[in-house]
Amino acid sequence: MTRTENLRSCACVGIVLFAFYQVTFSTEDHHKLVQFLFSPERYDPVVRPVMEKNTTTDIEMKLFVSQVLDMDERKQTLKTNVWLTLEWIDEFMAWSPEDYNNITNIKVPSGRLWLPDLTLYDNAGDKYEGFLKGHGRIVVVFHTGLVHWASPVIFVSYCKIGVRLFPFDRQQCPMKFGPWQYNGNEVALNGTGDRSVFKSDGEWEMENLLAEGHVEFYPDAPGIPYTDVSYTIFFRRRSQYYIFNLIMPCVLISIITMLNFFLPADSGEKISLGITALLSLTVFLLLIAETMPPSSEVPIIGQYYAATMVLVSLSLVMTVLVLNLHYRGPSSKPIPRWVKKIVLGHMQRFLLVRKQPLFNENFRKSRRRMRKRDSGNLSEFIPYTEDGRESPLNGIKFGGKLKRREENSNSSNHSDNIVTVTSNDQTIIMRQILREMKSITARFEDQDKKDTLHGDWKQVASVIDRMFMVIYIIGTASTVVFISMNIPLA
């Protein structure tokens, strides 16, 4: 073994012996220090640690809000994970480090020391628990008598949650801490807050954390002051989730309802589309109602859904009126003159509703010209007039037949009688045909009148439908503008 290796071995042995010496004597010094500090003759954890009874124990409290575990709007509670730090002077915990191998601090269970009876006044849990003496709480005691208590704690506190601006709301949740039995002459509590360790849960962002001390008097102890620290935590809700899952579907349903006015009345689906949209809005409104507290304060998103439901319901009423006008039967009355002037005149031009072919005046005139022409051509089929003379507009069929009969009239003695009888028969037949043609023409004219009346009501229905669409668009836009004005910009 070389000289260098021998030196290394000796150094390692020396380090191990020194560490063993330090641990051994440090452990013995700790035992001696603990026995000295917590001897029953000198220390009792139930007694406030002051030499003079008039000395006030000042407690410095610092609250770190780490995370929001739950914000329950229905129960009006806030569940938070906080890091709590308390410091005070325990006058019986002082020692000289030189007497105990320069030990400057020790760590002991919190149950062995006097602890202030701090309480969360806004507790909303199942019961009040002393969080300072919880399981596993360790306290650091310094040789100057300074006691440092620090531990993570989960608090469930009452928080009045205002939901009027949901999901664009901001909340202020108080957390009030103070001693329950020790009055302000015995324990004085001061506090500060810190939000540097906060981690967002995806829904809430913490904007600020304020701490304010108070001295208050309570009715169960009149005239006795009590100190407390009130923390106010300012939260802002992140609304992207609700915009995507609640507001966007409502906007799409509103647009789909608007398409109902473009759907032809003859399709028979206008009512079905409106009812489907109304049922969809009802389902989403129930989802919102399940998360909101049962109070008289209606959230802004609930107002938007309610306004949209009203508009969709009105669109259904409008659709029923339009269908009633569209399917007016032959028993309906003619369109009043003022309706023709206002609806089929000014409103039709203003709303840019084009005339359907059935309602075109040129189409009506062409139908009249066709009927006149057919009535004129009908005379060609009548060879004789009513007085028995031959018509000047002799038709081809009957005219040819009569000529052949006249050519053979010389071969028979009774030809004049045959022609006469044949002419009378043809006159009777032609008159019957004329009556039938007049009856058919009258029926067509009556049907034309009915079709014209029905077509006029259809045209009125289309104009009214376009007017209702404009009303719906204005109502929807007004609702969006009104709701947007109530949404905070930042």
In this prediction, residue 135 carries a pLDDT of 64
pLDDT at 221: 86
What domain count does the chain have?
3
**Residue-level pLDDT at 440:** 81
Q: Residue 287 corresponds to which amino acid?
A: L
Calpha distance 475→314 (Å, rounded): 10
The DSSP bridge pattern shows strands 221-237 and 170-179 to be antiparallel
Q: Domain ends where: 238, 257, 288?
A: 238
**What distance in Å separates the CA atoms of residue 251 and residue 258, rounded to the nearest whole number?**
11
For residues 52 and 120, membership in a common domain is answered with yes
Half-sphere exposure of 226 (CA within 13 A, CB side): 20
- The predicted structure's pLDDT at residue 410: 47
Which sign does the torsion angle of CA 376, 377, 380, 382 carry?
A: negative
The pLDDT score that the predictor gives to residue 73 is 86
CA distance 76 to 160: 6
Residue 426 belongs to a domain: yes
Query: Domain check: are 99 and 219 in the same one?
Result: yes
Q: What angle do CA 88, 89, 95 make, to 5 degrees?
A: 140
pLDDT for the residue 125: 86
pTM given for the model = 0.69
| Mean pLDDT per 10-residue interval, the chain, length 490 residues | 49 39 58 91 92 93 95 91 95 93 91 92 85 80 95 93 88 94 94 92 92 92 93 93 88 86 79 87 84 76 87 87 74 71 75 62 53 51 45 42 44 46 74 82 70 70 83 89 81
pLDDT at 396: 38
Q: Of 238, 254, 271, which residue sits at a domain end?
A: 238
* Of 256, 283, 253, residue with least CA distance to 269: 256
Q: What is the pLDDT of residue 400?
A: 42
* 299 part of a folded domain: yes
Q: Measured over all CA atoms, what is the biggest interatomic distance in the chain, rounded to whole angstroms?
A: 174
Other C-beta atoms lying within 10 Å of the C-beta of residue 307: 19
Identify whether residues 268 and 406 lie together within a single domain: no
Alpha carbon of 311 to those of 220, 249, 288, 322: distances in Å? 56, 16, 19, 16
| Domain interval for residue 130 | 43-238
